[in-house]
Structure 1
């Protein structure tokens, strides 16, 4: 998973404003008490950070990975 995919999925799942807020402010236990942004900046695996964010926010598995075809390839 690339960082661009992380951002696209986050925008789709949470909406652009909340995605940025969660990435900057939500402390993720699974990332050693770091925010997603901190973990990514420190080189943690992007997929692991995405999974930790989704787990923390109880995002169902069915909503974590699929971007509707009409939204693929564009920023929300």
Structure 2
């Protein structure tokens, strides 16, 4: 997962509260860091996304493959 995909996925899943979650929600799987702090510390983007999903109770069917743009059609 790329950071741009992470940003799209977070915005789509959490809407207006996305910024607050990235800054304020402590993620158990990231050693208590917020998502933003974990990313700044070099944690893999996909791991942070999955930790955020776990903490927020996002169903598994909405965790994988999100944030990707549709492939270009020629």
Query: If the length of structure 2 is used for normalisation, what is the TM-score?
Result: 0.84
Secondary structure of residue in 2 paired with 1:59? coil
Q: CA separation in 2, counterparts of 1:54 and 1:7?
A: 13
1:6 aligns to 2:6 (yes or no):
yes
CA distance in 2, matches of 1:61, 1:11: 17
1:9-55 residue CA offsets vs partner (Å, 9 max, x unmatched): 0000111x211110000000100110000000000000000000000
Report the secondary structure of 2:38's partner residue. helix
User: Which structure: larger Rg?
Assistant: 2
- Tell me the residue number matched to 1:28: 27
* Larger strand share, 1 or 2: 1
Q: Shift of the alpha carbon at 1:62? A: 1.3
Q: Taking structure 1 as the reference length, what is the TM-score of the superposition?
A: 0.82
**Please, which runs of 5 or more residues in structure 2 have no aligned partner?**
none
Which segments of 5 or more consecutive residues in structure 1 lack a partner in the other structure?
none
